Amino acid sequence: MAGLKIGDRVRTARQVFPGLKMTGGVGVWTVRLGRNCKLEVVSADQKGRDPRIEVITIERIDREDAGTDQECDSAKTGAGLSMGASISEVHRIYKQIPLAEPGKEPSLYRKDNGPDCLAGRSPELKSIFVYWSNRTNRIQMFSVDASRLSCEEYRSTERTGK
């Protein structure tokens, strides 16, 4: 997403986005994209100086701002979805992405590989989150998350029935 992928090293993110700075605690890095967006990457909890990225998020700073922001709106996911895309484009690119929280604003669309994680077919829980605003008719936030720890926690939660 935005020239980065899950598993890249933080060093790569800093090369692609020279303004990327650590914020909000250890392992959280952000940079502004255009007038109204920020890119956030979260690194894995690893020892060493160049951990791998587990979460990549692009988020609108002022969610009520309906003005155009070329740099923000043109930021794309690996599958080619831009932040300026329509809801039909979200559904075309991410087929069968279900609405997770009906009736809320913004609407949350979420898709993950939970069954593969639970069955042991995948060591990582990979999730896509798209927050769509019905008021401004645009994507408010797009996030991709993949982590071994999330998969382990998910399996543990399912086993204990919590």
pLDDT value of residue 47? 64
In 3-state terms, what secondary structure has residue 65?
A: coil
Cβ atoms 52, 8 nearer than 8 A:
yes
Cβ atoms 69, 36 nearer than 8 A:
yes
Tokens representing 114 are: 């939970």
Q: What is the pLDDT along the chain (162 residues), one digit of tens a residue?
A: 778 888 899 999 999 999 999 887 778 999 999 999 999 999 876 666 788 899 999 999 988 887 888 998 988 888 889 998 999 999 999 888 999 988 889 999 999 988 888 888 888 888 999 999 988 888 999 999 988 878 788 788 777 665
Tokens representing 130 are: 């798209």
Q: Report the Cα 124 to chain-centroid distance in Å.
A: 15
Backbone angles phi, psi at 152, to 5 degrees: -60, -45
Cβ atoms 41, 22 nearer than 8 A:
no
pTM for this model (two decimals): 0.85
